Amino acid sequence: MKLLWILVVVTACWSTQLRSDNADADYFEHMPTANTYMLDRAAYKSKLHGFWLGQSIANWTGLVTEMDRVAAPFYTDDDWGAVDEPAMWGLFTAHASRIDYYLVPPHKVWGADDDTDIEYMYQHLLDKHDTSMLTAEQIRHGWLTHIYSNEDAPISKSEFQRENNLWVSNETAYYLMKDKGLLPPATSEPENNKDHSMIDAQLTTEIFGLFAPGRPDVALAMARLPIRVTASGEAESIAQFYVSMHALAAVSDRSLPLGEQLRMMAEKSRELLPEGSYPADMYDFVLDSYLQNPDKDDWEKTRDAVYRAYQVEGRGGYMYRQPFDAGINFAASLVSLFYGQGDLPETIRIGTLTGWDSDNPTATWGGLLGFMMGKEAVQGAFGGEPLSELYWISRTRRGFPDYTPENIGEDTFSMMAQRGVLITDRVIVEGMGGSVDLENNRWLVPLPNQSDEKNTAPK
């Protein structure tokens, strides 16, 4: 990536300020003026590494129970460690036989899945095109270049048929681009895409929040077309909620426990959910159930209430269609968010047992908490033993560079995080009017003004 455009900020007062060389040190250093804040780039790289690692742990743990329970009776705490049951289509997961954390040791590889591979693709496209804002044409070309069709996909070794690793709205949008030449946002319009209300945009666009630290307005502008590849209406506002959460994570109040930080981020992001919509109703319902529950270990009580209120009774105007719905999985994700209280293993455990499309909400919070904690703290949360950073993108997608020809897989979380830092450089300069202090390895990021914040509201 070209760095000639970077404005290098060096002033005497900044050069005299203390800075830790520890990549997991407090990267949110201070407020140099009323309108800016400063972030440590080295620490941010560790946090991006933590994002990929935490998301992968949560993704592959949640996949064990994906679609096992999509209606009552659901799993409970007693099922943790038990033998996995088949999913609703009758198949068992191939990578684990028990409901437990899935951890990959060094020298083995994390496989790509749809919770990480399209985000990987978007990061690659931002890097390849030297841009902070992808065009509709760049998105379409990226999808058709890096995603298999059902006609040319490799044959699955477990199911013995071609598998392009796309489902519901992602697959519908892919074929609208491939066969009809449509571009986003047309690929998510209800008249074109019958699956526009499904979960897909949640798991493909959260990363845009991390490229715009502290600036949900910029993150949402970057994510607008990627979200509209697959989602419109309520599913779009749900995806915006997650993008906002990831952008706010960079500047949360680190003097507070992680659970309180997450609650404050969620309350701010709640403003993106239109009043009177079912996502707003779900947020308020789950939060109220959590707050009114005297037993904060009894997450099942709120999960079961979600099932009755929304899947059975259609509360708030929600009409359940499939266990892939953005709606029911949004409500489920809030159960693990609130009851997990910022504890990464507990949040993953609850998300894995909650039900429906259990790998997706779990991966969302695993990635977000992994970012907030950083690589070392993520490993520490699971016993402190080293975990793999190798990533196998060609498990599901094609046409990417092999950055690790000497190892299995094609990439590492460290290299992915470093490229993410360079993209964030560009976003801070081009998208925010901020600057990069390369001498001290930090960013000066302008705070949003009032008109910027108004622009985050859904159109």
Domains and CATH numbers, the chain: 12-454 (1.10.4080.10)
Determine which helix (DSSP H) or strand (DSSP E) holds 443, and give its type and residue range: strand 442-446
**Whole-angstrom distance, CA of residue 170 vs CA of residue 248:** 27
- Name residue, tokens 């003004």: 449
**Whole-angstrom distance, CA of residue 393 vs CA of residue 199:** 22
- Residues paired with 443 in a beta bridge: 39, 436
Q: pLDDT value at position 449? A: 75
Give per-residue pLDDT as tens, 26-46. 444 444 466 898 999 999 999
Give per-residue pLDDT as tens, 439-449. 999 999 998 87
pLDDT score of 360 more than 50: yes
pLDDT score of 453 more than 60: no
Q: pLDDT value at position 448? A: 84
Banded pLDDT at 126 (limits 50, 70, 90)? very high
Q: pLDDT value at position 33? A: 60
Instruction: Name which of 130, 110, 92, 121 is nearest 56 in CA terms.
Output: 110
Q: What is the mean pLDDT of residues 295-322?
A: 98
pTM of the full structure:
0.92
What sign does the CA torsion over 38, 43, 47, 52 have?
positive
* C-beta of residue 354 within 8 angstroms of C-beta of residue 336: yes
pLDDT score of 22 more than 50: no
Q: Between residues 451 and 218, which one has the greater pLDDT?
A: 218
* Structure tokens belonging to residue 453: 């914040």
pLDDT score of 346 more than 50: yes
